[in-house]
Amino acid sequence: MGLVENYELYEILGLHIFGRKMQHELILIDDLLFALVGIEGRYISIKRVHGKADVVSFQVDSSMDLALQEFAKRIFPLCESYLLIDEFVESRSQFKHGLVNHAFAAALRAFLLDYQAMVAQLEHQFRLRRLSIQGLWFYCQPMTGSMQALSTVIRKVSANNYAGSAVLNLLQSQAKAMAGDSAVRSLLEKMTHSASNAYLSILERWIYEGVIDDPYDEFFIAENKSLQKESLTQDYDAKYWRQRYSLKKDIPSFLANIAGTILTTGKYLNVMRECGYNVQVPVSENSKLMTFGSNHQYLECVKAAYEFASGELLSLIKEKYDLIGKLRSIKHYLLLDQGDFLVHFMDIAREELLKKHDEISVEKLQSLLDLALRTTAAAADPCHEDLTCCVERSSVLKGLSRLKDLDIKNVSHGNDLEEPISITGLETFSLSYKIQWPLSIVISRKALTKYQLIFRFLFHCKHVERQLCGAWQMHQGVRALNSHGTAISRSSLLCRSMLRFINSLLHYLTFEVLEPNWHVMHGRLQTAKSIDEVIQHHDFFLDKCLKECLLLLPELIKKVEKLKSLCLQYAAATQWLISLSIDIPKLDEQSDGSVGSGKLKSKNPSQVQKVMTRNSAVTDSILKFEREFNAELQSLRPILSSSSQAEPYLTHLAQWILGAGNDQ
């Protein structure tokens, strides 16, 4: 065979090999176009990993040319991403996975339609024999990054069963992570916006109507329906206001900084709905929350909704329900601002209040209280009918120790405060107040309990004052007798010292603590911008009053209670002391016919001995009361002195009780 024949043979063989390669390339392109939409071909197959339904891989026949195999493997990630996304769309299109997943799946479906349109265009070019394997790779390459980014998100959503806020946060974090690829980042931001529309519709109804329309539990605000508004008058912890609506852990990152404002806005609107007012925030086209972005327009919408809801609720509570008037009425009765009714009540209820606390008839006390209210200046107060009486089971000091939220200093010192063996109604009587919704948000069970603690302390101080006034009147009744230098004179001085103590204490409590603090609170309530500010100012007022009334200082209150106890013991013994002292001059008169001479004749030694014994007993009793009272009073000085540096109000207390400023 010659050279020409050999050349012709080689040429024929080369064309055959080239034609065969071209044929394989065309078949592979056709298979890849099918694979791009998740369909197997003649040389390309789909394999699923056993036990992992969402993990798939594409494989090319090993008989294919190696160069063509490498080209195919470059495009396989795009094919796998499409299949993963398509299956996710099908599974998450069901509402049981939540509105956010449903919206995300809808956005992915729209994206896949664009992707499928691209594949259709490539197939058209292929049918026109205008698409090579290199051209296919060229056109697919820009889409690969976007598809893989979406696949990463989908795998995490599926693996962790994300829904609601978690999906939005994942999309946002992935978008931020793709800062170097503007196309991918733009796609992920678009997906975030689309998925957030359903979430923002829930948010919109909450901040504009105060309603949680969250059928799949995706919203970041939880509602505890077991807590009802009626519990505010019973529950000391006021759980309704704090826990009826609360924030969950999963909060969309773009709402994290205003989550508290969003929660509060809906709570305010909900209160008005509970009051029977169907209040809605005025909504315009600019205030729709159907999208969010870098312009932060949604933040302005939330702020405007909050200001409207806050203003409407504050106006409702202040004007319609007269919060200030109710607080002023409570001040009249529980802080003894107008005490004429109390004086009358203590007179007519004395017999019942002297009984043991478990023997008292609350119904009888209530009827006596109603009588006192109707026959005094309190009858002009329209709120006086809301006043009720109750009898506690323990003293004020024991009641304080059970209040876990109060900042009681030196609690260990408070544990040794002895409860009286048989406490009477005078130690356990208290007033209560009927508070209706929505004022119970501000004047809750906790707030009312604090008012009652202050009232009980003041009430007992008033009782001590009345007893000492009775003793002082007895002394004034025997002033006609020449008692100078006798036991009566000494007793009169002691009675005046005790009255000075209790009057100074009451003056401090009312004019140095309650009245100034009330005026400060009243001023703050007038300028408050929200109901939460009102609650804060009111609670601050009560806590400050409790503290400055010594009720949170066990060491001091123990001393004061001891002094009050001595005053009551002395007042109870006064009649006996004075009657014995009056009997002495009568004995003198019988012996020598002179009254008040102070000298007894020696004719009657037994009577002399009897008079001297009585005089000695009276003097010893008075001296004992005097020593104990002065000792307890002086023991207050170092306590007040050491504590006044940290608590300046104790300086005023020292001036009043210890007499540093009383003689001015």
Q: Which has the closest alpha carbon to 60: 31, 36, 21? A: 31
Distance from the Cα of residue 261 to its chain's centroid: 14
Which residues 6+ apart lie within 8 Å of 347 measured at CB?
none
Q: How far apart are CA 430 and CA 439, in angstroms?
A: 21
Q: How far apart are CA 442 and CA 435, in angstroms?
A: 10
pLDDT band at 50 (very low <50, low <70, confident <90, very high): low
pLDDT digits (tens, 9 = 90+) for 470-487: 888 887 776 655 555 567
Residue 221 β-bridge partners: 247
Q: Where are the strands (E) in 183-337, listed by range? A: 221-223, 245-247
Inter-residue contact 86 to 56 (CB < 8 Å): no
Longest alpha-carbon distance in the chain? 183
For the stretch 304-314, pLDDT in tens is 889 989 999 99
Q: How far apart are CA 328 and CA 330, in angstroms?
A: 5
pLDDT in the model for residue 153? 92
Instruction: Say how far apart CA 238 and CA 229 lie, in whole Å.
Output: 10
Cβ atoms within 10 A of the Cβ of 590, count? 12
CA pair distance 532, 520, nearest whole angstrom: 17
- pLDDT per position as a tens digit, 358-370: 788 889 988 988 8
- Residue 295: the pLDDT is 52
Detail the DSSP E strand segments found in 153-228.
221-223
Provide the β-strand partners of residue 389.
Answer: 431
SS3 388: strand
Phi, psi of 27, rounded to the nearest 5 degrees: -65, -40
User: What is the share, in percent, of the chain residues with pLDDT greater than 70?
Assistant: 80
Helices 531-548 and 515-527 pack at an angle, to 10 degrees, of: 170
Checking if the pLDDT of 458 tops 60, the result is yes
Residues near 328 by Cβ (< 8 Å), separated by ≥ 6?
Answer: none
Q: Which residues contact 613 (CB under 8 A, 6 or more apart)?
A: none
Give dist(CA 620, CA 241) in Å, integer. 60
- What pLDDT, in 10s, does the model give residues 230-253? 666 666 666 777 788 899 888 888
Other CB atoms within 10 Å distance of the CB of residue 661: 11
User: What's the rounded Cα separation, in Å, for the pair 195 and 252?
Assistant: 12
pLDDT band at 107 (very low <50, low <70, confident <90, very high): very high
- The phi-psi region of residue 9 (left if phi > 0; otherwise alpha if psi is between -120 and 50; otherwise beta) is alpha
And the tokens for 258?
């205003």
What does the alpha-carbon distance between residue 71 and residue 75 come to, in Å, rounded to a whole number? 7
Distance set, CA 638 to CA 317, 559, 642, 651, 661 (Å): 47, 12, 6, 12, 17
Query: What residue type is assigned to position 658 of the chain?
Result: L
Q: How confident is the model at residue 283 (pLDDT cuts 50, 70, 90)?
A: low
Least confident span in 192-196, 284-288, 328-332, 430-434: 284-288
Q: What is the mean pLDDT of residues 311-329?
A: 91
Q: Which helix (H) or strand (E) holds 619?
A: helix 605-643
For residues 73 and 80, the answer to whether their CB atoms sit within 8 Å is no
- Residue 52's pLDDT is 59
* Helix, coil or strand: residue 247: strand
Q: Identify any residues that bridge with 391 across adjacent strands, giving them in sequence order.
A: 429
> CA-CA distance, 660 to 653, in Å (whole number)?
10
What is the three-class DSSP state of 304?
helix
- Please, which pLDDT band fits residue 117 given cuts at 50, 70 and 90? very high
Question: What b/e string do you get for 326-361 counting C-beta neighbours within 10 Å, with b at 16 or more?
Answer: bbebbbbbbbbeebebbebbbeebeebbeeebeebe
Its pTM surpasses 0.85: no
Task: For the chain, give the number of residues.
Answer: 664
